[in-house]
Amino acid sequence: MLTFSLNGRQVSVQAEPKTPLLWILREHLNLSGTKYGCGAGLCGACTVHLNGAAVRSCQVEAAQLDGARVVTIEGLSADSSHPLQKAWVAEQVPQCGYCQSGQIMKAAELLAANPKPTRAQIVAHMDGNICRCGTYHRIATAIERASREG
């Protein structure tokens, strides 16, 4: 049994040590906002925060979780009120939407460390997250809006 903090609450899960956090979230805990895209750390759809840092949850094993603090898209805000979520709606960013949880969690890491990023810093930070609908320009614009409007 491993216990960790998930979106501010303690949770306990029975999982093999090598089970990826992604499947613990999605299938053990039925918290499905975090998406499976590649299973190999290549696309960023499964991005969550682990002890404050954006990580690919498909690459985090259960053994690393005991006592850890995990935040997913469901925990970013209680009511879609995070500046990034508001900006995402204002800029009508998502299309199919499947990658957007990961995009937002990756962007949240950036703004937490650097509230006023330049466009170049945004691109460098977000470059690992694939959006197959090609909403990248709107993502960047939304990050700038969130940075501006807080």
Partner 1 sequence: MGEIRNEGLELSRREFLAGAGGLAFWAGFGANGFQLISEAQATTQAKVLNPWVRVAPDGGVIILSAGAEMGQGSMTSLAAIVAEEMDADWSKVVIEFAPAEASVYGYVDGDTRSMTIAGSRAVMRYYADLRIAGAQVRKVLVASAAEKWGVEPSSLRTEPGAVIDPATGRRLAYGEIAAFAKPPVRLPGVDKAELKKRSEFRIIGKSVPRRDIPLKVNGTARYAIDVHLPGMVYASTRHSPVHGGAPESWNDATVRGLPGVLGVIRLADGVAVVADRFENALAARKALAVKWKPDAPAAGFDSEKTLSDDYVRVHADPAAKTRTLDAKGDADRAFAAATKTHRAEFRSDYGYHAQMEPLNAVARFNPSFDQVEVWDGSQSPDRCRAGVAKALGFTLAQVTIHQCYMGGGFGRRTLGDYAAEAARIAREVRKPVKLIWTREEDIAHGMFRPQSFQCLEAAQDASGKVVGWRHCVVGDGGVLLHTGIKIPYYGVPNQHLELRGVSHGIRVKHWRAVGHVFNVFAIESFVDQMATAQGMDPVEFRFRHMSISPRARVLFEKVVQMSDWKAPRPEGRALGISLSERSGSLGAGVAEVSLDRASGRIRVHKVWLAVDGGLVVQPAAAKANIESGIVYGLSSVLYERVTVKEGVVMQSNFHDYHVMRMSDMPEEMHVEFVERDAPPSGLGEIGNPWVAAAVANAFHRLSGKRLQHLPFTPERVRAVLDA
Among 51, 137, 148, 149, binds partner 1 (CB under 8 A): 137
- The identity of residue 38, as a single letter, is C
Extended strands (E) in 57-140? 69-71
x/- map, 104-123, partner 1, by CB under 8 A: x-----------------xx
Q: Name the residue with tokens 């990050």.
A: 143
Residue 96 binds partner 1, judged by CB under 8 A: yes
Residue 129 CB, nearest distance to partner 1 (Å)?
Answer: 8
Element (H, E) at 111: helix 100-113
Residue 60 binds partner 1, judged by CB under 8 A: no
If you write DSSP's letter for every residue of 19-70 in order, what string do you get? -BHHHIIIIIS--TTS--S-SSSSS-TTEEEETTEEEEGGG-BGGGTTT-EE
Residue 93 CB, nearest distance to partner 1 (Å)?
Answer: 8
Residues 27-46 that bind partner 1 (CB under 8 A): 27-28, 30-40, 42-43, 45
Pairing type for strands 47-50 and 9-13 reads unpaired
- The identity of residue 19, as a single letter, is T
Residue 83 binds partner 1, judged by CB under 8 A: no
Binding site for partner 1 (CB under 8 A): 15-16, 18-20, 23, 26-28, 30-40, 42-43, 45, 72-74, 76-77, 80, 84-85, 88-89, 92-101, 104, 122-124, 126-140
